[in-house]
Amino acid sequence: MSEDSTIFEQIAAGEIPARIVHETETILAFLDANPLAPGHTLIIPKEAYTKIGDLPDDVAAELWASAQSLTPTIETAVSADATTVGINNGSAAGQEVPHVHIHIIPRFDDDGGGPIHAVAGTRPELSDSELDDIAANIESADNIWTALGSSPEALAS
């Protein structure tokens, strides 16, 4: 582990204690030390990857499978009415620890929290033409990366 390892790397290495709720060879899930709600859980790959696009496919699949199986378990454990599941992918999105992590945040009727749409601030006013252009750009870029068998993030690393 490097000298500038993240808090999540230190937790995964057992150097910092955490309330671990799920662990595999690849994935670790633990209660957030500064929870937004009872049962707020973080799921991380044990190996450090900064953004979603950096994850190998097998790690991404296991990370998401863990979120899928843990979400109803967490809801039941804390008697939540629902959950918000989210990833802050990069500092502009609010990612404070540069290590991919999924938040599972239990939600309760009348908890005062808003929908995930509230995180983006003011909504842009986009014309049909602008939306068509954005969709075409995403589809085109995705086709190129699929053909190359890679992603922009993988090429940058």
- Taking only the tens place, the pLDDT of each residue in 82-97 is 999 999 999 999 999 9
* Domain CATH number, residue 64: 3.30.428.10
Query: Do 144 and 81 belong to one domain?
Result: no
What residues have CB less than 8 Å from 123, skipping those under 6 apart? 117
Element holding 43 (H helix, E strand): strand 41-45
Query: Do 138 and 79 belong to one domain?
Result: no
Please indicate, yes or no, if residue 142 is contained in any of the structural domains: yes
- Is the four-CA dihedral 49, 116, 96, 31 of positive or negative sign? negative
pLDDT digits (tens, 9 = 90+) for 128-151: 999 998 888 888 876 665 666 666
In this prediction the pTM is 0.85
Cα distance between residue 80 and residue 108, in whole Å: 5
Query: Do 72 and 112 belong to one domain?
Result: yes
Query: What is residue 26's DSSP assignment?
Result: S
**The token pair that represents 58 in the structure block:** 């097998």
Q: Give the count of domains, the chain.
A: 2
Q: What is the pLDDT of residue 143?
A: 67
Quick count: other Cβ atoms within 10 Å of Cβ 37?
18
Please indicate, yes or no, if residue 1 is contained in any of the structural domains: no
Query: Do 112 and 131 belong to one domain?
Result: no
Any idea which residues carry the catalytic annotation? 101
Query: Do 94 and 138 belong to one domain?
Result: no
